[in-house]
């Protein structure tokens, strides 16, 4: 018996009471938007499992010819991705618990509430969809041959990668925009890899990590005697990038004085090292990235409008994780595979509930936050299956940490000027973040920097600035 097909989701209901079968069919066809088949006994149910291959089986646990546990065992052998929901009568709850241990998705007792059973079935349908998609994505991942480091098949990320590879064929300045954690540095590497400069190393400059005086000398170089401590000539990063590509990461944080000199580089294709009167011609492709509103900074006088237009010759905006939710299972499997190998913990997998949590959670830190939480889960999970709890604890801690920072800003810094309050909160956040990064790596600066998405030297500079010593965090 079949209802008219509404979509490709399939529900098989198994019970020896025909009245109950018809009632369930009537209720669930309205509330679950799926195709429904009915079976009055276990024998017929097994045939439908083989030939019709449902997404969810809703079965009574007590039937004359073949009980629900036997049917469950058969389903687990034929296709363990099918979600089985057990219906129990009086005195059979112990059997239902046994069914859960054997692999059943959920159970409920008769008499049932219509809305409750509909919710359980909808969740079970979603669970099957996620598990099957995850298996498909695992297969895709083993065959993955995309020339970029981006992982994903969604329309949003595919469009961004297409633009990045096309822009790679040009030498024009490119501005890469996107929220924190969306992969702006990966985008820059994608552009560089697609360019005629790919045979040379791309130079990356983490602009916020360098104080104004150091940033200027690092970018443009200096001559001996240009300032106290300048004992030798030093080539700047622009000169090092000659013939290649330079990425100015988070360019919105560059001071106005450096912006002025950078404008000259873009206009004249030349640099002037500190302490030198002559200029040096360079051939550098400039990429810039930001997670900030440059237009708003221009209005506030914090960013030069002429520099903005020089940078904004071509633009790519990277999608947030919320805009590419369909890629979450593929990303999850990719990071799982990576960290399994790193920590020598082969054989791990995600529970269906963990997959559902990842799909439904709001990842404010985007892919970087997502990757960090899976990294932590792989390292700390006690068994072979990563559950929702293994993923959710870190998210809770993160929320608490952000809440604390916000409270500090409102309560303790409200009597300071905006600039002073911001400086104090940023400093406190930096100390907390760096300390936790060193604690997690037992004082290993290289690993802590890598996990933080920073170069080792930039990480060390931040440690010195905030008076932190890696040795203090070593066991």
Of 98, 120, 142, the residue at which a domain comes to its end is: 142
Question: Averaged over 115-123, what is the pLDDT?
Answer: 90
Residues 162 and 310 in one domain: yes
What DSSP state is assigned to residue 177? E
Say what the pLDDT of residue 189 is. Answer: 93
Of 400, 423, 448, the residue at which a domain comes to its end is: 400
Say what the pLDDT of residue 419 is. Answer: 64
Give the Cα separation of 373 and 369 in Å (integer): 6
Say what the pLDDT of residue 61 is. Answer: 86
Reported as a pLDDT band with limits 50, 70 and 90, residue 422 is low
313 class by beta-carbon count within 10 Å (0-12 exposed, 13-18 middle, 19+ buried): middle
| Of 90, 92, 27, 83, nearest in space to 58 by CA | 83
Residues 201 and 132 in one domain: no
Residues 99 and 22 in one domain: yes
Q: Which helix (H) or strand (E) holds 29?
A: helix 18-31
**Does residue 309 lie within any of the structural domains?**
yes
Say what the pLDDT of residue 2 is. Answer: 44
pLDDT in tens, 224-239: 877 777 778 888 899 9
| Of 95, 92, 102, 105, nearest in space to 58 by CA | 105
Residues 159 and 299 in one domain: yes
Please report, for the domain that includes residue 379, its CATH number. 1.10.8.60
Give the Cα separation of 329 and 179 in Å (integer): 21
**Does residue 227 lie within any of the structural domains?**
yes
Say what the pLDDT of residue 147 is. Answer: 47
Residues 468 and 374 in one domain: no
Number of domains in the chain: 4
Residues 464 and 371 in one domain: no
Contact 266, 317 (CB under 8 A): no
Contact 221, 240 (CB under 8 A): no
| Of 321, 351, 338, 356, nearest in space to 129 by CA | 356
156 CB-near residues (< 8 Å, 6+ apart): 319, 323, 324
Say what the pLDDT of residue 418 is. Answer: 62
Reported as a pLDDT band with limits 50, 70 and 90, residue 452 is confident
Q: Strand 35-39 to strand 56-60: parallel, antiparallel, or no bridges (unpaired)?
A: unpaired
Question: Averaged over 396-406, what is the pLDDT?
Answer: 42
Q: Which of 67-76, 253-262, 466-475 has the lowest mean pLDDT?
A: 466-475
| Of 423, 422, 434, nearest in space to 461 by CA | 434
Residues 312 and 365 in one domain: no
pLDDT in tens, 124-164: 998 888 888 777 666 555 444 444 578 888 999 999 999 99
Give the Cα separation of 401 and 365 in Å (integer): 14
Say what the pLDDT of residue 125 is. Answer: 92
Of 317, 343, 373, the residue at which a domain comes to its end is: 317
Peptide bond just before 111 cis, omega within 30 deg: yes
Question: Averaged over 100-120, what is the pLDDT?
Answer: 87
Residue 314's DSSP bridge partners are: 174
Instruction: Tell me which residue range forms the domain holding 134.
Output: 10-142
pLDDT in tens, 42-78: 889 999 998 899 999 999 988 877 788 899 999 998 8
Say what the pLDDT of residue 226 is. Answer: 72
Say what the pLDDT of residue 411 is. Answer: 40
What DSSP state is assigned to residue 253? G
**pLDDT > 90? residue 188:** yes
| Of 277, 213, 269, nearest in space to 242 by CA | 269
Say what the pLDDT of residue 89 is. Answer: 77
Q: Strand 270-271 to strand 280-281: parallel, antiparallel, or no bridges (unpaired)?
A: antiparallel
Please report, for the domain that includes residue 305, its CATH number. 3.40.50.300
Average pLDDT of the chain is 84
Q: Which of 56-70, 285-299, 401-415, 433-447 has the lowest mean pLDDT?
A: 401-415
Reported as a pLDDT band with limits 50, 70 and 90, residue 113 is confident
Residues 167 and 298 in one domain: yes
| Of 322, 384, 386, 396, nearest in space to 359 by CA | 322
Say what the pLDDT of residue 4 is. Answer: 39
Q: Which of 179-188, 275-284, 295-304 has the lowest mean pLDDT?
A: 275-284
Residues 234 and 203 in one domain: yes
**Does residue 33 lie within any of the structural domains?**
yes
**Does residue 264 lie within any of the structural domains?**
yes
**pLDDT > 90? residue 246:** yes
| Of 176, 197, 203, nearest in space to 187 by CA | 176
Q: Which helix (H) or strand (E) holds 366?
A: helix 366-380
């Amino acid at each position: 018996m079949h209802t008219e097909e509404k979509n490709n989701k399939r529900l098989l209901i198994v019970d020896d009471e025909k009245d109950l079968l018809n009632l369930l069919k009537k209720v669930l066809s309205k509330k679950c938007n799926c195709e429904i088949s009915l079976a009055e006994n276990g024998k017929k149910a097994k045939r439908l499992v083989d030939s019709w291959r449902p997404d969810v089986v809703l079965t009574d646990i007590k039937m004359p010819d073949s009980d629900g546990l036997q049917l469950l065992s058969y389903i687990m052998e034929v296709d363990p991705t099918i979600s089985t929901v057990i219906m129990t009568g009086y005195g059979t709850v112990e059997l239902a618990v046994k069914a859960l241990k054997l692999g059943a998705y959920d159970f409920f007792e008769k008499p049932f509430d219509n809305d409750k059973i509909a919710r359980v079935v909808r969740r079970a349908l979603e669970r099957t969809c996620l598990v099957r998609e995850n298996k498909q994505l695992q297969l895709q991942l083993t065959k993955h041959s995309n020339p970029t480091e981006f992982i994903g098949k969604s329309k949003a990320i595919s469009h961004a990668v297409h633009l990045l590879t096309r822009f790679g064929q040009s030498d024009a300045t490119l501005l890469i925009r996107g929220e924190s954690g969306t992969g702006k540095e990966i985008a820059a590497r994608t552009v560089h890899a697609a360019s005629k400069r790919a045979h040379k190393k791309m130079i990356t400059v983490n602009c916020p990590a360098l104080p104004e005086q150091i940033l200027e000398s690092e970018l443009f170089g200096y001559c001996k005697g240009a300032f106290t401590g300048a004992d030798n000539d030093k080539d700047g990063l622009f000169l090092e990038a000659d013939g290649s590509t330079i990425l100015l990461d988070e360019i919105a944080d560059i001071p106005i004085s450096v912006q002025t000199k950078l404008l000259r580089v873009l206009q004249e294709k030349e640099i002037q090292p500190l302490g030198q009167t002559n200029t040096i011609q360079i051939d550098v492709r400039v990429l810039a990235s930001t997670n900030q509103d440059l237009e708003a900074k221009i209005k506030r006088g914090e960013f030069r409008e002429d520099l903005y237009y020089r940078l904004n010759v071509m633009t790519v905006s990277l999608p947030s994780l919320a805009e590419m939710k369909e890629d979450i299972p593929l990303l999850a499997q990719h990071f799982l595979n990576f960290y399994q190998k790193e920590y020598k913990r082969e054989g791990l997998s995600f529970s269906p509930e963990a997959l559902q949590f990842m799909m439904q959670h709001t990842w404010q830190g985007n892919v970087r936050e997502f990757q960090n939480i899976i990294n932590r889960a792989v390292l700390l999970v006690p068994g072979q299956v990563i559950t929702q709890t293994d993923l959710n604890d870190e998210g809770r801690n993160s929320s608490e940490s952000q809440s604390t920072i916000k409270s500090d800003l409102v309560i303790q810094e409200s009597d300071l000027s905006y600039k002073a309050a911001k400086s104090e909160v940023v400093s406190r956040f930096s100390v907390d973040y760096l300390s936790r990064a060193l604690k997690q790596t037992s004082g290993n600066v290289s690993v802590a920097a890598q996990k933080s998405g920073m170069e080792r030297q930039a990480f060390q500079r931040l440690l010195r600035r905030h008076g932190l010593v890696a040795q203090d965090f070593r066991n």
